[in-house]
Structure 1
């Protein structure tokens, strides 16, 4: 018998207090009680996004928010510049192609980071590009992208918007939407915001809303103009995920109480500890540049299938981490340290990882990784 622990880059653990709030009797989504909840959530989402603009709340996964951005800001035949440095960069390109948007790709080796200069070169070469699509960090590789520098490039062009997938970054990494000039930012509920899957968030600035007014792609459910009008009345255009929004209210209160700056530092601390531990164990970090503080992507030892590491941790120790995606399947495993996760759980995970590796034939002195992570976490 064992307890169940979740350390995937989504979904992530939900705080017990939040689960209890969501278990309360359901209220009607057009009632004054729900309007009060939504009004509070609306304001506190601005704090998390670091913006003065309203944040749309959609009943969908983060991918729904991504698709909604494409259909609400572009028109048939428009050109988009897409950074493909992992699985989720590829998703931007796939969504654009599905709606007849011409995609120009910047292909970056998985594990490497796009440079702002590459964005500038792409825009100089194709000045008619209407949107640049990028990740805050690429969840499939653990690489963090230089959003501030990329925004400096894009903001010089009035006819181009920067769209950021921050689904697994929001609430864990520094995302300064207004200060950096990020035109569109997409978030999701099941990552650092510590909720079950089911909510997507989209923040658009004034420049991006001008693109919405001109967009001619088909849309119905994900109609941002309708959602904006409804949100102004503390409502949603269609039936919302009421219980999830009530849970979100609890988590946003907690985030605001702790403070975003402190939360970002905490995630960095956990990240430093895990990365130091796996290196001490003789393992290699897959991420070659700009490692994210949200998760650690680790190369499996030679001769050991990473999927077997994931399987043994889950089935024998009750610890769920993530494997590699696409061409990285079997090559890497990923340990998330975002959201409702504490230091002791990370130490436990490293201890279990040591045992699994030894069981799979990897030569390792027990306690090597545990000692390394403890040394980081003991630093005040």
Structure 2
């Protein structure tokens, strides 16, 4: 018998409560019953983003849809955008801006490193008139977390909007929408929200609306103005994914019950244990001091085919890790530990990692990483 364990950067494991909520009988989306559920989800999402002033829109898409929606709503013809590129998803911001004909300046950050906020200051001083700064919070392709709290005041000082891809970071790392003066932030259902893929969420603060109202790029389905108008009536401009919204209500209930601060602490604790377990096996971390709590990126040991290990573990044991993307293919193993993950899941992950490495001929002492993890996770009362 094979049980499946999903330790990927997304989708992540889904709690039974959430799966059962999605399996409820279908209801019509233009009814008081659904409007009430949608209203509660929209309000609870504010808690997730840590905002009281902002509006949170639910989009029927992957996170990339939310990224495109942001570009279409905050930029106009002739505008300039500054994009932090530290991996595949920073690249995506740049690709989307260029797709809309926006002059795009990039800050290219070495893989495995976080952007230095001072480099953003330098870029804003060098190129005058930048309208929007786009960055990721957690770059899942490299396992890096960026210091959004330090970046925000720099962007504000220069009068630009700050748009943050927190698709992976929300529900894992602290993100304080109001306190940090973030203009727009996005997340997706299939990461820290413990949901299946299919929904994306955009939080728009009051500071962004004057720009959004005047923006002149083409937008129809992704129009934030329409979404804001319909949100006031507890509904959406177009047919929503009813079952996923009902599932999201259950997921948000779980997050609220645990408490968002406790959710952040749990992820920090599990991420630390995973990193230390990997290091106990003699492995080197890819992101080092910049490592996020979303996933642990581990450098491939010399002479070891990590992609072969990943495939064998997935097919034979049901434990799914991921490898590197694009130029990082074959150079790393990524172990996700976000969302519906607890102590014993991390124990399974490290045990599987040991097994895969040992069978591939890597000189690992079975149980060494596992012992380290257990010593960090055990609690003394």
Q: Per the shorter chain, which TM-score range?
A: over 0.9
Please, what is the CA RMSD of the aligned residues? Answer: 0.9
Indicate the residue corresponding to 2:95 in structure 1. Answer: 94
Query: Map of 1:142-291 to 2, 5 A cutoff?
Result: 142-158=143-159, 160-291=160-291
CA distance in 2 between counterparts of 1:289 and 1:92 reads 25
Q: TM-score under structure 1 normalisation?
A: 0.98
Q: Please tell me whether residue 38 in structure 1 is matched to residue 46 in structure 2.
A: no
Structure 2 residue ranges without an equivalent (≥5): none
Structure 1 counterpart SS, 2:196: coil
Indicate the residue corresponding to 1:352 in structure 2. Answer: 352
Indicate the residue corresponding to 1:137 in structure 2. Answer: 138
Question: 8 Å contact 1:84–1:90 — kept in the other structure?
Answer: yes
CA distance in 2 between counterparts of 1:289 and 1:210 reads 38
Structure 1 residue ranges without an equivalent (≥5): none
CA distance in 1 between counterparts of 2:290 and 2:361 reads 31
Runs of 4+ in 1 over 2 A off after TM superposition: none
Query: Map of 1:62-81 to 2, 5 A cutoff?
Result: 62-81=63-82
Would you say how many aligned residue pairs link Structure 1 and Structure 2? 379
Deviation at 1:288, TM superposition (A): 3.2
Indicate the residue corresponding to 1:117 in structure 2. Answer: 118
Structure 1 counterpart SS, 2:157: coil
Question: 8 Å contact 2:322–2:334 — kept in the other structure?
Answer: yes
CA distance in 2 between counterparts of 1:229 and 1:131 reads 24
CA distance in 2 between counterparts of 1:23 and 1:94 reads 37
Deviation at 1:379, TM superposition (A): 4.4
Deviation at 1:157, TM superposition (A): 2.8
Structure 1 counterpart SS, 2:65: helix
Query: Map of 1:46-61 to 2, 5 A cutoff?
Result: 46-52=46-52, 53-61=54-62
CA distance in 2 between counterparts of 1:5 and 1:289 reads 27
Deviation at 1:290, TM superposition (A): 1.7
CA distance in 1 between counterparts of 2:41 and 2:368 reads 44
Deviation at 1:214, TM superposition (A): 1.5
CA distance in 1 between counterparts of 2:333 and 2:40 reads 38
Deviations 1:24-49 (A, max 9, x none): 11110111100010111111100000
Structure 2 counterpart SS, 1:179: coil
Question: 8 Å contact 1:113–1:289 — kept in the other structure?
Answer: no
Indicate the residue corresponding to 1:126 in structure 2. Answer: 127
Question: 8 Å contact 1:65–1:202 — kept in the other structure?
Answer: yes
